[in-house]
Structures are given as C-alpha cells and as structure tokens.
Amino acid sequence: MPVFAANLSMLYTEVDFMDRFRLAREAGFCGVEYLFPYDWPEEDLKRALEENGLTQVLFNLPPGNWSAGERGIACLPDRVQEFRAGVDQAIRYARVLNCRQVNCLAGIRPDTLEESLAWQTLVDNVNYAAGRLEDEGITLCLEAINSRVDIPGFFLDTSARVMQLIEAVDAGNVKLQYDIYHMQIMEGDLIRTVECLLPWIGHIQFADNPGRHEPGTGEINFWNVFAALDRLGYGGWVSAEYRPSGATGDSLGWFRQGA
C-alpha cells in the first residue's frame, strides 16, 4: 500500500486544529498536510509534529484572500509582489517544519483578465518560486483543481494544462500535484493518466466522487487505484483530502484495511 498522509484541514475537524496532529498519529498516519500554516507560529507547529513523530508533507503558498473566495494569486498580474512575499513566508515555515514540498494555487482568472496575460504571469511566478525553492531543496507542486464543481474559473483545471506549465517552466523541482478527486471530475481515466505522468507527479491526494468523502462512498475503485500506485512504483505521499461522511474515525476503514 502507498504511504498515506492525513489532511488536517479536512480530517478531524471535530477537534481544534492543534489537537488534530495527535489524532492523526493515534490512527496510524506518519505524515500530515493542511491548507496553510500561516495562522500559527512555526514553533508551535514544529512541536506538534515532533511530539507526534509526524512528517510535514505539504502546505500551500499563501492564497490571497481565502475567506473572500480567492484561491491563489499566481495568475494575477497585479499581485506579483504579494506572490513573491508569499514565497518568502512559505520558505520560512518550510525551513522550520522541514517540509520538502509546497503547492502553488494558480488562482481564478477574472473574466476581465486576458488568458494570455494570466498564463504568462503564471509562468513567470512559477519560474520565480521554483528558483527560490530549489535553493532550499523544496519541490514546487502545481495542482489541477476541478472547475466544474468546486472552483469554477480555476485557471489550472486539467493535468494536461499543468504539464504544459511544467514544460514552459522547465525546472527540475516543479511537479504535478495529482488530486484523484479533482481529476475524476475533469478527466477520469485515473490509472492510465498516473501511469503516463508518473515521472512528473510529486504528490497525490484523494477523495471519492461525488461528495468528496472517504473511499467507498462514491464511484472510484480505490483498491485498484492504490494497487496501481504500488505496481507503478510511485514513491511519494498519498494524502487523504476528503470530508468524512460522518465522524473521522469512522471514515478510516480504507486505511485500516490497507495498513
């Protein structure tokens, strides 16, 4: 079975954020990720990881104004300074948390922004971030997110589009973050896609579809998908990024079965 991590922004929301680390460890996870670390002091997060023997697998670059609906600023030409400051902030946290991967959210392209300008801004920003992160030994992940259900207008919404960006940037530390849930909605053909794109995949996340709940609640055959990851020799993390359909503990049958 792959090595699984728990996404603490979606799992264990029954308890306060800082208590989720312990619950993840008690369930048997050895790695965690969450959307953003920036609301907590680095040292507090580091302590939570160390006390529970957990690896910080991933977090996102600052996304702009999340509560106002922004989902990344990397494609927005009037936000380049803010993007760069966000890279600095992410590096500060990644150093303390010993986190080897950060994810860049491309953002939602406003109708008033020309597609070509959004694309060039994204290429330039990813180039900049990749250079800064390479110096730190950190991989920059680029996630394709479905624009049909969860984030209409999200600028990078297919694996092909991310691959186009990876080619345009041509940096060794830029990888595709393949989210099985989003790609089931946009593309399907999960196992064949992973097989084709394996060398460029840095991180995998999952939830079942529809509903974005745990494996077994929807249409994806996770047992076959996880077996394929093993057969293909995928060596990265596979993160449970789903909203449990009930209590988190009750949603972990897939994990207990595979562990």
Ligand X SMILES: O=C(O)C(=O)[C@@H](O)CO
Task: Check binding of 179 to Mg ion (CB under 5 A).
Answer: yes
Say how many residues touch ligand X, by CB under 6 A: 10
Strand 201-206 versus strand 237-240 pairing type: parallel
Task: Check binding of 139 to ligand X (CB under 6 A).
Answer: no
- The DSSP bridge partners found for residue 102 are 59, 140
- Output the six-digit token pair for 142: 């680029």
Task: Check binding of 205 to ligand X (CB under 6 A).
Answer: yes
Query: Known catalytic residue: 143?
Result: yes
Q: Which does 35 bind (CB under 5 to 8 A by kind): Mg ion, ligand X, none?
A: ligand X
Distance between CA 195 and CA 198 in Å, rounded?
A: 5
Distance between CA 140 and CA 104 in Å, rounded?
A: 7
Q: Which does 60 bind (CB under 5 to 8 A by kind): ligand X, Mg ion, none?
A: ligand X
Binding residues among 32-51 for ligand X as defined by CB under 6 A: 35
Query: Known catalytic residue: 241?
Result: yes
Strand 3-7 versus strand 31-33 pairing type: parallel
Q: Left, alpha or beta for 153 (phi > 0: left; psi -120 to 50: alpha)?
A: left
Of 55, 56, 60, 173, the one binding ligand X (CB under 6 A) is 60
Minimum Å gap between C-beta 220 and Mg ion is 14
- Output the six-digit token pair for 167: 């080619």
Contacting residues toward Mg ion, per CB under 5 A: 179, 205, 241
Contacting residues toward ligand X, per CB under 6 A: 35, 60, 103, 105, 143, 145, 179, 182, 205, 241
